[in-house]
Chain A
Amino acid sequence: MSQKVLLNATEINIILNRLACQLIENHLDFKETVLIGIQPRGVYLAERIKKLLIEEYAIEEIKLGYLDITFYRDDFRRTEKTLEANKTKIDFVVEKKKVVFIDDVLYTGRSINAALTAVQSFGRPEEVELLCLIDRRFSRHLPIQPDYKGRQVDAINEEKVKVCWKENEGEDTVYLVKS
């Protein structure tokens, strides 16, 4: 197994700032917007973006929730292992709000498809956007594209994109792992 660095800490920091600015461009004060981190890995990115928006760009209030899609996945009983759920925490109203899904890697699009179904359990959003750090283009199984993307990556199926966060893995780095 070999791995190569796709993004280092500085590059990630620049990208996060750009993504935050792009969000502000479309959502201004975030009064009618809610951010939803997709469990498990999208949550780290979502927390980072929230922190940036509040601390660096003086947005007063950001509503951030976590959405677990396990029970909405289309591969239930089709995988070897039982799918284990994570915590969903959405303690605000989604009805008529602009929702921004946040996930670290966009690959086949199936997770986002499940998230689109899952979020409807909390109401009918005005619109839903998607933000991802890594967009693995040419790997999509469904017609789903990101509205905000950090970096586009052309990776073949045998390769894996691994996103590491300081708060979890001790470093901010994105790797391309070859098995």
Chain B
Amino acid sequence: MSELSVNHLLGIKYITAADIELIFKTADHFKEVINRPIKKVPSLRDITIANLFFENSTRTKLSFELAEKRLSADVINFSAAASSVKKGETLIDTVNNILSMKVDMVVMRHPNPGAGIFLSKHIKASIVNAGDGAHEHPTQALLDSYSIREKLGDVAGKNVVIVGDILHSRVALSNIYALKLQGANVKVCGPKTLMPKYIESLGVEVELDLRKALEWCDVANMLRVQNERMDISYFPSTREYTQQYGVNKQLLNSLNKEIVIMHPGPINRGVEITSDVADSDQAIILDQVQNGVAVRMAVIYLLASKIKQ
């Protein structure tokens, strides 16, 4: 197979295992490209991409922009903070105005879950979801799986635990879909208050004891506590959260095997992981960032190839 089954990347829920395999195979080639002296290919020289960020982002926005530029696409950036959204313009109006400037693809981050899906029904351009509220963040899940595959050889059959704020995390949901699709075993671990109801229906197990979860897993994906999405207190204090669900070097050393530590960033050092863990050889956090560019190049390249002239 050499073509994606979808015209948009709205979430991992809507793609297949074969799509993921194709994205990874393509990303392998782009990883080689971005390690050349000249890190740019001309494939997308006649494509214009709009990055619409209705919510703050550093790493994802930079990663997407770099991926687009490495593919020679023309890039325009938009952030809601400095735009007419503040003046009351609707999402469709904002996007249609941008599209009338002949944009072929939209990369969008939005605080509302389903914003990408809504948009895909109303506009013609190809859409890549760069995070929609607490719903999905597909490219993050893809680069996480890609990093696991790179580190451990394969994702199938591996035990992965996602630790932390599962309730507010789009990274967790996309990761669960992606990992299950590739045949990994998934557990989620965190305070009961941050566990969504019916999470087991996704085929994952809930483990409230961090030590047990770490002893079981090959990979631990540590999520950030998303204070900005918390309208009430879900745990008594950050200190108590860290004591129960924070990973430190001492805890890692006491396990009977060496596990891989991942983090989607930004890290709250000293909360979900300590600095000595984040900077250790077991952590592949910076590999995840580098792989992010290659994986996003693959996604954009494959989607763009479906935009016919």
In the bound assembly, the distance between CA atoms of A118 and B304 in angstroms comes to 20
Q: Who on chain A is nearest to B33 by CB?
A: A71
B29 within 8 A of A: yes
Residues on A with C-beta less than 8 A from B32 are 87-88
Question: For the side of the interface on A, what is the size category?
Answer: 20 to 34
Contact A82 B302 (CB under 8 A): yes
Say whether chain B's binding surface is mostly helix, strand, loop, or mixed: loop
A117 in complex: contacting residue of B2, B39, B42, CB < 8 Å: B42
A84 within 8 A of B: yes
B26 within 8 A of A: yes
Question: For the side of the interface on B, what is the size category?
Answer: 20 to 34
Contact A121 B37 (CB under 8 A): yes
Residues on A with C-beta less than 8 A from B306 are 82
Contact B43 A71 (CB under 8 A): yes
Cβ of B184 to closest chain A Cβ, rounded Å = 26
Q: Who on chain B is nearest to A94 by CB?
A: B37
B209 within 8 A of A: no
Residues on A with C-beta less than 8 A from B205 are none
Say whether chain A's binding surface is mostly helix, strand, loop, or mixed: loop
Cβ of B307 to closest chain A Cβ, rounded Å = 6
Residues on B with C-beta less than 8 A from A122 are 36-38
Q: How does the 8 Å CB contact mask read for B65-86 relative to A, with 1 for contact and 0 for none?
A: 0000001000000000000000
Knowing A82-B306, A83-B305, A121-B38, say if A76 contacts B43 (CB, 8 Å). Answer: yes
In the bound assembly, the distance between CA atoms of A73 and B39 in angstroms comes to 16
Residues on B with C-beta less than 8 A from A88 are 29, 32-33
A120 in complex: contacting residue of B38, B43, B309, CB < 8 Å: B38
In the bound assembly, the distance between CA atoms of A140 and B38 in angstroms comes to 29
In the bound assembly, the distance between CA atoms of A148 and B4 in angstroms comes to 40
Cβ of B261 to closest chain A Cβ, rounded Å = 30
B89 within 8 A of A: no
Contact B29 A77 (CB under 8 A): no
Residues on B with C-beta less than 8 A from A121 are 33, 36-41
Residues on B with C-beta less than 8 A from A73 are 43
B21 within 8 A of A: no
Cβ of A82 to closest chain B Cβ, rounded Å = 4
Cβ of B298 to closest chain A Cβ, rounded Å = 10
